Structure 1
Amino acid sequence: MQFEGAVLREQGVTFAIVVVKRHVVDNRTEAQSAIRSFSPVFPGVPVVLMAQDSSGRATYFGRPDITRFMSHVSPSRVPWKRYTLN
């Protein structure tokens, strides 16, 4: 499975962001399961999920300090990359 994601280091914290469908971010159980499934691609790094609505507005799910920080960052400034999860 291929997906879009990014690894960022901000304010001394390294973390990963993974793009998912909106319904994943809206469902806590599904979001937590998704984070666990993506964690092997980013070992030892907190994973945050990001979904966009039809107008491009981003919503995040994950560690509160990281989601708060990312809520002030435009998704267009994130260095997205295609990853593969086997």
Structure 2
Amino acid sequence: MKFQGSIIKEQGVTFAIVIVKRHIVDNRHEAEKVIASFQPIFPGMPIILMAQDSRGRPTYFGRHDIAKFMSKVPLHAVPWKEYTLH
């Protein structure tokens, strides 16, 4: 499975962001399962999920301080890349 994500280091914290469908971030149980499934790709890192609404506005799910930080970062400033989950 291919997916879009990014590894970011900010203020001494290295974390991962993964783009998912909106219904995943809207369902806490599902979001936590998805975060766990990505842990082998981003070992030891906090993982933040990001989904966009129909207007392209992002919503973040994950560690509160990181999600709040990311809500202030323009999406075009994130260095997105394609990953493969085996």
Aligned equivalents of 2:46 and 2:12: distance in 1?
13
Aligned equivalents of 1:23 and 1:76: distance in 2?
23
Give the gaps of 5 or more residues in structure 1.
none
Superposition TM-score, scaled by structure 1 size: 0.98
Secondary structure of residue in 2 paired with 1:4: strand
Aligned equivalents of 2:54 and 2:73: distance in 1?
18
Superposition TM-score, scaled by structure 2 size: 0.98
Shift of 1:75: 1.1
Percent identical among aligned pairs is 65
1:69 aligns with 2:45: no
Q: What is residue 44 of structure 2 aligned with on the other side? A: 44
Q: Number of aligned pairs?
A: 86
Q: Deviations over 1:32-83 (max 9, x none)?
A: 0000001110011110000001111000000001001001001111000000
Secondary structure of residue in 1 paired with 2:3: strand
Secondary structure of residue in 2 paired with 1:41: coil
The residue identity in structure 2 corresponding to 1:52 is Q
Which structure has greater helix proportion? 1
The residue identity in structure 1 corresponding to 2:40 is P
Structure 1 stretches of 4+ with a deviation exceeding 2 A read: none
Q: What is residue 6 of structure 1 aligned with on the other side? A: 6
Q: What is residue 33 of structure 1 aligned with on the other side? A: 33
Give the gaps of 5 or more residues in structure 2.
none
**Superposition RMSD on alpha carbons, in Å?**
0.4
